[in-house]
Structures are given as C-alpha cells and as structure tokens.
C-alpha cells in the first residue's frame, strides 16, 4: 500500500507501527450546523481508506472526535465560538445544538454508506484528558500562562513548520487576516490550550481545572482523544487540507512535546470540494448539505459515486450538471448489474476472480486511486467471466466502494414527496398549456430513472428497470 504523506510530501510505502492493528484518527465535524457536502467528501474518502485497508487484510481501529466546544470561527483562536453563536441564533443550549447536529451527521453517514468509526468521542466528555496533557506541557515548559489563559509556546517546538512545509514568514502572512491580535501570546502562532479569561465571557460550557474555571482550545481535543483511545503511536491521521495549518500543525506540536517522541507517521489530507463560485464553507451560510440534494431528487449514493470518480488529492468542482452525469452513469451501472443478477450462469471462478481482485487492490494501493477501482469494476462487467463470477466480484468490491451495487432501488420518503410535487407541477403546466414545461419535468424525472405514466386515474410513476 502506498499513500501520500503530507509530512514527507511523498507517496510512501505504508508500514504500520504494529502488525496487529492499524490505528487511524480522523477529525470529526464541528456540530453547529449540518455538514456540507464538502465535509462529506472528506468523510467519504476516509471511509474508503478504512475499508480499503481492511480489504487488504489490516485490522483497523479508528477514532473520530465530535467538536462540541472550543472551535472558533477563525482557526487561530480568533472570531466567535461556533457552537455558542449557533446556540444563540437558534435559542437553544449549546448541548442541544450539539445533540441535534450530531444526530444529523450520523444520518448523513448512514445515507452515504459511511461506516461509523469504532470510537466516536465528543470533546465535552474528555476534559480530564486535556487537563492531564496541559498540566504536563506546563510542567515541562512547553506551555505558559498569560492573561488567565494557557498557551502552547510554539518557539519550543523546532519542527513546527515541517507538516505545512511553509516558512515562518509564509505562515505569518497566513495568520495576518486573523486581525484580532491576542496580546497574551508571545508569538502569533502560539495557541490556546485552556481559556479562562477571554473575550467569551458568555461561554456557556465551562469546567473547573487547575488553570481556572474555563474551557479547552480546539486543537488539544484531537490530540488528547487520539492518544487516549489509540495510544502513543498513531499510524494515520486524516482531515481536509484546511486542517494542515494550524490545526494539525498544532496537534503535532503539543502531542510530540507531551509524549517526547514522534506521534503520527502518516498524515493524509483530502482536497476540497469547491462549487463554481469557489470554496464551500459552513460558516458562509450558503452551504449545500445532503438534505438539499435529496430535496432536489438526487440519490445520496450518487454523490458518493461522484466523489469516487476523482482522486482524493484533487480539487473536485461540484455542480448540479456534474451530479446529473453521475446519476446517469450510476443508473446505467446499476442496470448492467441487475442484468447480470437476473441471468446468473456457471460456478464462481475463484482463480480468475483473483486477477481482478489483485487489480482492485493495486488501484487502492496506488495512493487510493478510486477512479481506477471503479475502472476495475467496469472491467469485470465487460469481461468474459461468467455472471456468477461477475456477481461475486461486484459484491466483493462493494465492501470498499459501498455503492449499494446489489441493492434493489428503494424509493425514499423524501424522493417520493419530491416526485409527487413534480407531478403536481406538471399537471399545472399542462392545464396552462405550457407543454414545454410539462415535457421538461417529465425529462428531468426520466434522467433520474423515474418514468411517469399518465392513466385515467391520474399520473403515476415507476422506477426504470
């Protein structure tokens, strides 16, 4: 298995720390709103990474945090607290907001066939672990108290620039936009480990600690949760590219200072999903969540298919047109598979299967080349293998791709209400003699594999076989 490591800036052979188990940590969502489809692209890639490793025969133990405290709108301790702001806006408590959007996130995972990580840990349930880490960092001189807060002293960690591969001046420019300078910091990169006295006097969630009544910074939560659940040596740490600096840079600084040795060997970062206007962001307020796609009649698994068509290290540009083409391709694929399933022949040829399984493994092992993995699936379908062998391989590959390749198309309640809405719209268009509009609606549904049938009793629909 070869994977690109942000730390070395190279595609490297993957060698886990222990033969027994691969440990994998992925930064979870900040649950102040629905995850947008950009966030979900990252979680899809991480899911394929975990499942692919399992497919290769590794035992994987994976952990993810849920950020329900401490994440400010600027990643460098600036701006407002994302959770507190959402609670204020929705007139709810922070924990209610967290509960609601955590459940919404789990629902998204389920709809995208993303396996839940083995361990999921909310930040608010790990205060003891942060205190333990911060205490040691203070004792050993890696952290300092200033203005009532505790900060990590980045000058004490010479490798601070390694992960981002950027110079000090370059990073100074990057944080320059975070104009609200914190005069308590010795250096602009220093970051808060614990806040008691800050601009957030109305911070709802606070805890007792040896450093005063307060709350943790964002970065400490991932280090502490990862070390607590996965041990002192981590194989893989994932996240989106925006996490490289400052979040993961800070995680490395505090974890390695705390542990006194190298912490994580492979840093795997997922590129962004952009829309035509540029970066997608939850805080921009115009984000696209999975519900908005479902409301437009798209199958969430088609979104997964769309993501797998491109490499995780390339920016992916999203548009409804590109999702339409993915819908088309996915439906054709499902129809071909249905045909195979309905015309089974011969015994499974395990020897020949192995050739295709090796190709599939090679594609995954080549820095998780998901489009090559899909090509291998198409190669199986096109091949002269008998249908039983094809079906065996399709089922096998779907353990990693998770595209519901063998599932009969079920219709969700959301899609059904969308179609009924469209049928009403079409009837109205016909009544107004706007036949072009009526045809447009029929064609749009047809592109989603939904066939309208006009009967004496009214219009009904069925899914194209």
User: Do 311 and 370 form a contact (C-beta atoms < 8 A)?
Assistant: yes
Choosing from 273, 333, 368, 393, the residue that interacts with ligand AMP (CB under 6 A) is 273
Query: Residue 117, interface with ligand AMP (CB under 6 A)?
Result: no
Instruction: Write out the two tokens for 248.
Output: 């993961």
What residues contact 300, with CB distance under 8 A and at least 6 apart? 108, 111, 112, 290, 293, 294
Which residues ranging from 45 to 64 are in contact with ligand AMP (CB under 6 A)?
none
Q: Which stretch binds ligand AMP (CB under 6 A): 37-45, 254-262, 405-413, 449-457?
A: 37-45
CA–CA dist 163, 146 (Å, integer): 27
Identify which of 285, 311, 302 has the alpha carbon closest to the alpha carbon of residue 48: 311
Size of the site for ligand AMP (CB under 6 A): 17
Residue 5 pairs with which residues in a beta bridge?
Answer: 10
- Angstrom distance (rounded) from CA 440 to CA 188: 56
Count residues contacting Zn ion (CB under 5 A)? Answer: 2
- Pick the binder of ligand AMP from 58, 151, 211, 272 (CB under 6 A): 272
Cα dihedral sign, 436-437-443-447 = positive
Residue 222's binding partner among ligand AMP, Zn ion, none (Cβ under 5 to 8 angstroms by kind) is Zn ion
Residue 464, binding choice from Zn ion, ligand AMP, none, Cβ under 5 to 8 Å by partner class: none
Bridge pairing between strands 316-318 and 22-26: unpaired
Kindly indicate which of the ranges 10-18, 23-31, 131-139, 437-445 contains the residues binding Zn ion, using the contact rule CB under 5 A: 23-31
Three-state DSSP class for residue 210: coil
Q: By CB under 5 A, is residue 63 in contact with Zn ion? A: no
Q: How far apart are the first and last CA of the chain?
A: 39
The beta strand positions in 252-324, using DSSP E, are 264-270, 273-275, 278-279, 316-318
Within 380-439, the residues that bind ligand AMP by CB under 6 A are none
Task: Please give the Cα distance from 29 to 105 (Å, whole number).
Answer: 8
Identify whether the C-beta of residue 157 lies closer than 8 Å to the C-beta of residue 163.
Answer: no
Structure tokens at 22: 């691969």
**Strand locations in 153-282, DSSP E?**
191-195, 215-216, 234-240, 264-270, 273-275, 278-279
CB of 396: closest distance to ligand AMP in angstroms? 29
CA angle 52, 53, 59 (to 5 degrees): 135
State yes or no: cis peptide before 158, omega within 30 of 0.
no
**Site track 230-249 with ligand AMP (rule: CB under 6 A), x = hit:** ---------xx-xx------
Out of ligand AMP, Zn ion, none, what residue 280 binds, judged by CB under 5 to 8 A for its kind, is ligand AMP
Question: Does 38 engage in binding with ligand AMP (CB under 6 A)?
Answer: yes
219 scored as a contact of ligand AMP (CB under 6 A): no
Under the criterion CB under 6 A, does residue 27 sit at the interface with ligand AMP?
A: yes
Does residue 122 touch ligand AMP according to CB under 6 A? no
Q: Which does 192 bind (CB under 5 to 8 A by kind): ligand AMP, Zn ion, none?
A: none
Cα separation, 119 vs 117, whole angstroms = 5
Give the nearest distance from C-beta 458 to ligand AMP in angstroms: 43
Mask: binding to ligand AMP, 276-315, rule CB under 6 A, as x and -?
---xx-x---------------------------------
203 binds, among ligand AMP, Zn ion, none (CB under 5 to 8 A by kind): none
Of 21-29, 34-42, 115-123, 379-387, which part binds Zn ion (CB under 5 A)? 21-29
Specify the stretch interacting with ligand AMP by CB under 6 A; choose among 128-136, 266-274, 346-354, 406-414.
266-274
Binding mask 190-229 for Zn ion (x = CB under 5 A): --------------------------------x-------
Number of C-beta neighbours around residue 276 at 10 A: 8
- Contact with ligand AMP (CB under 6 A) among 6, 24, 25, 41: 41
Best CA proximity match to 265, nearest among 256, 257, 273: 256
Tell me the window of 38-46, 52-60, 115-123, 159-167 that interacts with ligand AMP (CB under 6 A): 38-46
Hey, CA dihedral for 10, 14, 18, 22, is it positive or negative?
A: positive
230 makes contact with Zn ion (CB under 5 A): no
Binding site for ligand AMP (CB under 6 A): 27, 29-30, 38-39, 41-42, 239-240, 242-243, 270, 272-273, 279-280, 282
Binding site for Zn ion (CB under 5 A): 27, 222
């Amino acid at each position: 298995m070869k994977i690109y490591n942000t730390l070395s800036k190279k595609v490297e052979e993957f060698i886990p720390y222990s033969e027994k188990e691969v440990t994998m940590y992925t930064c979870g969502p900040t649950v102040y709103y629905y995850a947008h489809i950009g966030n979900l692209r990252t979680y899809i890639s991480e899911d394929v990474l975990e499942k692919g490793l399992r497919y290769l025969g590794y035992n994987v133990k994976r952990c993810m945090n849920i950020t329900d405290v401490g994440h400010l709108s600027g990643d460098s301790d600036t701006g407002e607290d994302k959770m507190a702001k959402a609670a204020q806006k929705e007139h709810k408590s922070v924990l209610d907001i967290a509960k609601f959007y955590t459940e919404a996130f789990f629902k998204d995972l389920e709809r995208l066939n993303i396996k839940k990580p083995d361990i999921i840990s909310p930040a608010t349930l790990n205060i003891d672990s942060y205190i333990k880490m911060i205490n040691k960092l203070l004792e050993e001189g890696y952290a300092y108290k200033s203005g009532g807060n505790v900060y990590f002293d980045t000058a004490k960690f010479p490798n601070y620039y390694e992960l981002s591969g950027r110079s000090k001046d370059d990073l100074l420019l990057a944080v320059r936009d975070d104009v609200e300078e914190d005069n308590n910091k010795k250096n602009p990169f220093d970051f808060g480990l614990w806040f008691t006295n800050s601009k957030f006097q109305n911070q709802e969630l606070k805890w007792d600690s040896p450093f005063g009544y307060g709350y943790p910074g964002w970065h400490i939560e991932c280090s502490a949760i990862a070390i607590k659940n996965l041990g002192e040596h981590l194989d893989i740490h994932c996240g989106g590219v925006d996490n490289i600096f400052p979040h993961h840079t800070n995680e490395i600084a505090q974890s390695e200072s705390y542990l006194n040795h190298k912490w994580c060997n492979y840093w795997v970062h997922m590129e962004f999903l952009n829309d035509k206007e540029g970066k997608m962001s939850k805080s921009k307020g115009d984000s696209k969540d999975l519900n908005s796609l479902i409301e437009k009649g798209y199958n969430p698994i088609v979104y997964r298919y769309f993501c797998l068509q491109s490499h995780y290290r390339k920016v992916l540009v999203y548009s409804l047109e590109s999702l339409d083409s993915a819908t088309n391709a996915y439906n054709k694929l499902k129809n071909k598979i249905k045909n195979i399933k309905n015309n089974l022949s011969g015994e499974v040829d395990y020897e020949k299967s192995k050739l295709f399984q090796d190709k599939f493994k090679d594609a995954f092992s080549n820095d998780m080349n998901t489009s090559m993995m899909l090509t291998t699936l198409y190669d199986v379908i096109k091949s002269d293998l008998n249908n039983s062998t094809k079906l065996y391989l399709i089922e096998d590959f779907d353990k990693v791709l998770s595209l519901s390749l063998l599932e009969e198309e079920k219709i969700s309640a959301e899609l059904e209400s969308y179609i009924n809405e469209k049928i009403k719209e079409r009837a109205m268009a016909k009544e107004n003699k706007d036949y072009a509009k009526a045809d447009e609606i029929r064609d749009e549904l047809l592109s989603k594999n939904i066939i309208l049938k006009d009967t004496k009793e009214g219009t009904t629909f069925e899914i194209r076989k």
